[in-house]
């Protein structure tokens, strides 16, 4: 029995040495891969941002295109020109502006619980 325990202890020490060598090898390999993996992680973050915020990406792209080579003064000149050239489009947009404001004003206030729960269907 003692010989088996001694052999088992010897086997355990050999395995622990192998584990330590493998840990050192893994640490060296991970140092070599740290920069490429950091770059890949940054790329994945950018892709997730674009997927989660398409409006921001499209708006930024449109802003870059509109500012391309003309600057802010050129963009303002173009905006004034479009405003005078197409006043009907502006009037059309302004006709719908009060509709958006009134929909927010019609929301029930947080003070009266009867008003908040009046539109809730409790039959289910």
47 and 75, same structural domain? no
Both structure tokens of 87:
């006043």
75 and 43, same structural domain? no
Counting every residue written for the chain, the total comes to: 124
Instruction: Please give the Cα distance from 107 to 124 (Å, whole number).
Output: 23
Instruction: Please give the Cα distance from 36 to 7 (Å, whole number).
Output: 44
Q: Is the pTM of this model over 0.75?
A: no
66 and 98, same structural domain? yes
- pLDDT per residue over 60-110, tens digit each? 877 777 777 666 677 677 777 877 777 776 777 677 666 555 554 455 555
2 and 44, same structural domain? yes
Examine the fold and report which residue of 9, 33, 52 is the final residue of a domain before the chain moves on: 52
Q: How many CA atoms lie within 13 A of 108 on its CB side?
A: 11
59 and 47, same structural domain? no
Average pLDDT over residues 23-37: 92
Which residues constitute the domain of residue 46?
1-52
100 and 80, same structural domain? yes
Instruction: Please give the Cα distance from 83 to 22 (Å, whole number).
Output: 70
74 and 45, same structural domain? no
In 56-115 the beta strands, taken as DSSP E runs, fall at none
């Amino acid at each position: 029995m003692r010989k088996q325990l001694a052999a088992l202890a010897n086997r355990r020490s050999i395995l622990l040495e192998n584990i330590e060598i493998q840990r050192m090898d893994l640490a060296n390999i991970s140092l070599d891969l740290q920069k490429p993996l950091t770059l890949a992680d940054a790329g994945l973050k950018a892709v997730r941002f674009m997927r989660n915020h398409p409006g921001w990406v499209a708006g930024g792209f449109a802003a870059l295109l509109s500012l391309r080579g003309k600057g802010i003064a050129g963009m303002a000149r173009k905006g004034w020109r479009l405003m005078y050239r197409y006043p009907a489009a502006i009037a059309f947009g302004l006709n719908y502006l009060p509709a958006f404001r009134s929909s927010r004003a019609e929301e029930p206030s947080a003070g009266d619980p009867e008003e908040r729960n009046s539109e809730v269907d409790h039959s289910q």
